[in-house]
Amino acid sequence: MTVRTTAQTGSTADSDASQRHTDAHAAHAHAAHAQANADTLLTPVVSTADWMAAPTLAPSSPSPVLQERLGALAVLSAELQHARVLAAPSSLALDVVQREMTALPPQLAAVDAQSPFAIWMSVAALAEHYGAYRLAQLVVDGVRELVLAEYARTVDAQTRAQRDELVAICWARRGRIARMAGAFDDAIECYSQAARDSRKHPWNDAGPLAELGLATVSAIRGNIPDVERRAIALLARQPQIFPMYRVHAHQFLVLVKRKRGAFIDALLHAWSAYDLLSTDDFRRHELVGAMAEIALDIGDVDAASNGFDAVLATDVNDRIRVSSLAGAVQVCLRRRQAGDGEGNITRLQSLMSSLQTMLERNLSPNDRATALIALAEAEAGLGDRDAASRWLVAAAETAADAKLFERQFQIEALQATLRAPTASPLSSAKTIDVKTTTWSGVPEHASARGGTRHPALARLEYSAFWDITDSR
């Protein structure tokens, strides 16, 4: 999620650029076996388990390139821990990861990449992106402490507000790191602290970031009333808040309405968010995927298929790709049930291969559970109930470890279906009768398949989505 405040507040930290501090002994404290030259400083740190304390990292050793980058991030962290002021990194280690920092996923990038605050947030974001959550936390904590020290004697109200905003952003980012690591209780504490620190300045970035973070954890844990309350409160604050936060609020209401079976209302919130975004915004991928899932709920397989295919044709982040692969599996299963069996076997096998490849990546617990459940559904669709059961066991372990309560209920229901003597098709998707759906007063369109069809569904099926397939 983009943080605009760094562009507004970076000038204060920039004024201290002349005081940049490099302490070679600090690097050696974090890399005890390192030599004095830069090359050897970058590698031994990776063997320290603390830097790699992330449950979703692959158990195999990281590649030499990743070792070098993680080592560079550890050296940068050592420099930050011994810095006296918040200045841009001066270590040679920055050169090793500079290109990767500029290519971070959009939700982790900062607008003002030149301010020291933004650079250090990008260092933390890259560590998070690689799954080195403990290292990311150390960097964010170091930045927060330097901000507090720098503004310790501040008496001016405007400068205090600036300090509060930066500190709150640090807490919000720390909450995100904890959430990505599956430490949801810690994430709630951090997001709540960010909310408290930003209460005097609710129109800035940190407050909405904290509220969205808390809503995200509630969504993962299945607390739908809390998600709805926070989303409605954010929308009520427009136009005071940045439009992007309204987009996220609409996205949460998509989730809420979908859970309650108000599928067309969910689609309309999704289109509202979609139309608020520029044509090159990566979030359009996620919204198209969400609309495809809703179309699948309604039973409009053609609209769903067009949406999932559009998303999978793009360079999207892991979370969106996993979700769309799982949705595409559901499309294949529905079409097999409708009699199109042979044409979908190859497609199902291809999707399963892609999902297994995704499991080798640094997925969040929720995304890992999504992939495992989709693999179980695909195996069941191909008639291999034993393989489906094994995937569900793995999904149940992931959900239990991360306290993903709603996922646990979903998996238990699927396991019960699989154990039934005459097992029906294994599917976590719901279907409603399109012909009996209430369209909330919006004019209906005649459907070539009979009955009537809401224009939001027609738009999803017939849109070429050139604006998302060419955006990255």
Q: Answer yes or no: is pLDDT of 199 > 90.
A: no
Instruction: Give the three-state DSSP class for 452.
Output: strand
pLDDT value at residue 106: 63
Identify the band that residue 95 occupies on the pLDDT scale cut at 50, 70 and 90. confident
Q: Confirm if 22 and 78 have CB atoms less than 8 A apart.
A: no
Q: Answer yes or no: is pLDDT of 468 > 60.
A: no
Q: What percent of the chain lies above the pLDDT cut of 70?
A: 75
Q: Confirm if 427 and 377 have CB atoms less than 8 A apart.
A: yes
Instruction: Give the three-state DSSP class for 446.
Output: strand
Question: Mean of the per-residue pLDDT values for the chain?
Answer: 79
Which tops the pLDDT comparison, 467 or 46?
467
Distance CA 126, CA 98 (A): 10
φ, ψ for residue 445 (rounded to 5)?
-110, 140
Q: Answer yes or no: is pLDDT of 17 > 90.
A: no
Q: Which of 140-154, 253-267, 432-446, 449-463 has the lowest mean pLDDT?
A: 432-446
Summarize pLDDT for 207-216 with one digit per residue, the tens. 899 999 999 9
Considering the entire predicted model, what is its pTM?
0.68
CA distances from 245 to 179, 204, 227, 321 (A): 19, 11, 14, 23
Summarize pLDDT for 23-34 with one digit per residue, the tens. 333 333 333 332
Cα dihedral 186/191/197/200 (nearest 10): -160
Distance CA 369, CA 90 (A): 41
Which tops the pLDDT comparison, 343 or 386?
386
CA distances from 165 to 84, 111, 287, 333, 445 (A): 21, 16, 29, 49, 49
Distance CA 207, CA 196 (A): 8
φ, ψ for residue 375 (rounded to 5)?
-65, -40
Residue keyed to tokens 């209906």: 444
Phi-psi region of 403 (alpha: psi -120 to 50; beta: other; left: phi over 0): left
Distance CA 94, CA 79 (A): 11
Distance CA 315, CA 468 (A): 10
CA distances from 292 to 86, 299, 460, 462 (A): 45, 10, 8, 12
DSSP-assigned letter for residue 453: E
pLDDT value at residue 462: 87
φ, ψ for residue 362 (rounded to 5)?
-85, 75
Summarize pLDDT for 48-78 with one digit per residue, the tens. 223 223 333 333 456 788 888 888 899 999 9
Residue keyed to tokens 């279906």: 417
Summarize pLDDT for 363-418 with one digit per residue, the tens. 999 999 999 999 999 999 999 999 999 999 999 999 999 989 989 999 999 999 99
Distance CA 324, CA 312 (A): 7
Q: Answer yes or no: is pLDDT of 256 > 50.
A: yes
Q: Calculate Rg over the CA atoms of the chain.
A: 24
Identify the band that residue 317 occupies on the pLDDT scale cut at 50, 70 and 90. confident
Element (H or E) spanning 445, and its range?
Answer: strand 445-446
